[in-house]
Amino acid sequence: MGSALVGAGVGHMTFARDEFQAQVPEFVPLSKDATVLASGVAEIGLGLALVFPGRYERAVGVAAAGFFTAVFPGNLSQWWHRRDGFGLDTDRKRAVRLLFQPPLIGGVLWATRQRQGG
């Protein structure tokens, strides 16, 4: 998950910048480009922290879950406003994508849980 976040963060700043802008809701006070760049930096940082969590693994997991929760309104906005991006070019595809956010949040929390005996 960490490497996927790093890859997505790099995409925010380079090859997929326009695609990510389709997900920025209107209520965000920054420009769409500034929002995409800032979230890309956050994703790279969280991704690296997941790859190399050290003794803060649980805190990193909670932070990543918080990030995934914070970007969910952008996914909703993309669906609501029928914006294409990343091959999500139908209402059905955009709606199905929304169903994956809760398991993503749960997955990062589960993967970074406190383990017994170690």
pLDDT of residue 48: 97
Alpha carbon separation from 74 to 5, 12, 34, 98 (Å, rounded) = 17, 14, 14, 10
pLDDT of residue 117: 52
CB 40 within 8 A of CB 21: no
pLDDT, averaged in runs of 10, over the chain (118 residues): 96 94 93 97 97 92 97 95 94 96 96 72
Q: Which residue has the tokens 């029928």?
A: 82
pLDDT of residue 66: 98
- Helix, strand or coil for residue 51? helix
pLDDT of residue 53: 86
Residue among 112, 116, 117 nearest 46 (CA): 112
pLDDT of residue 114: 75
CB 24 within 8 A of CB 74: yes
pLDDT of residue 54: 87
pTM: 0.90
